[in-house]
Structure 1
Amino acid sequence: MAEILFYHLQSRPLEQVLPTLLDRSLARGWKAVVELSSSERLAALDDHLWTYADESFLPHVTAADPDAPNNPIVLTTKPDNPNGAQVRFCVEGVRIPDALQDYERVVLMFDGDDPDALAAAREDWRKLKTLGASATYWQQDETGRWEKKA
């Protein structure tokens, strides 16, 4: 079963945090799939990943790209795994997938200032604990550093 990480965003938004985590995944030799809840957010994140830093480059495509299976990072709005990724990022309200066995790591990133996102993350945490899954919970401090809380 996958290693499951919950990332509680507070002081920095998804657009600042996700590129670093994607870079780390690529450094491990992993492919990544990022699932978003809407095509509008997918388009915005797609644009952002091309321009988020002058000194960095994150090779990625959307699942609509015919070359998606050959790319290290694929953005999608569906629960599929178009590039055979080892790590799945669930963002923008996407819930933890049932197919945990398909990944080495599953990362749920949620906005701590959004009551609905917080409630959904708590529900996913309880569900995983009921299944006996191992999960860790990380929260940003005021400087944006991650602290393991559970």
Structure 2
Amino acid sequence: MQVDFYHLTSPLDRVLPRIAERVVATGGRLLIVAEPQEQRVALDRLLWSYAPESFLPHAQAGSNDDAAQPILIADDIPDAAPANAARNVAIVDGRWRDLTLTFDRAFHIFDDEAIREARLAWKALADRDGVERRYWKQNDSGRWEQAA
């Protein structure tokens, strides 16, 4: 299990679509988790309109055909497998959830407001068997660099 910690210094809308594109391009499925409804609505709009020449097929959890969606936006991680059978999860509201560890890969995306909780999650995962942690930060030119 791999957990990538992304410390945002630029807006989420510049980071999340690229992660989602990479997951879908490799045939993977993604569960995006954001508790606030207004954030889920904004993510829904973002994935349809982030680039004029493309979009990322997705739906909000609870719509008619969740199982067919390569990307599903939900308010939390379900106790059972996600309806779209995603093995990748992106937590974008900054709140760590231990059910994240039931996925093959996790993207924990947080800003300065959630840095304390991200640090606690990082430390808690240090001694977990089978968990590889990576910490990403942006350099001065805006490119992501692995820092740990």
Q: Is the 8 A contact 1:79 1:97 kept in 2?
A: no
Aligned to 1:84: 85
Q: 1:137 to 1:96 in 2, by over 3 A?
A: farther
Q: 1: distance between equivalents of 2:52 and 2:4?
A: 29
2:128 to 131, 134, 142: 131
SS at 2:56 equivalent: coil
Mapping for residues 1-150 of structure 1, pairs under 5 Å: 2-10=1-9, 12-80=10-78, 81-100=82-101, 102-111=102-111, 113-114=112-113, 117-132=114-129, 133-150=131-148
Deviation at 1:93, TM superposition (A): 2.1
How does the TM-score come out when normalised to structure 1?
Answer: 0.90
RMSD (CA atoms): 1.3
* 5+ residue gaps, structure 1: none
Higher mean C-alpha deviation, range 133-142 or range 17-26: 133-142
Give the AA of the match of 1:19: P
Q: Counterparts of 1:139 and 1:99 in 2: how far apart (Å)?
A: 21
Please give the alpha-carbon distance, in whole angstroms, between the structure 1 residues aligned to 2:109 and 2:26. 20
Instruction: Among all aligned residue pairs of Structure 1 and Structure 2, give the percentage whose two residues are the same amino acid.
Output: 36
Unmatched 5+ stretches in structure 2 = none
CA contact (8 A) 1:96 1:108 kept: no
Contact 2:6-2:135 within 8 A present in 1 as well: yes
State the secondary structure of the residue aligned to 1:98: helix
With structure 2 as the length reference, what TM-score do the two structures score? 0.91
Amino acid at match of 1:6: F
How many residues are paired up?
144
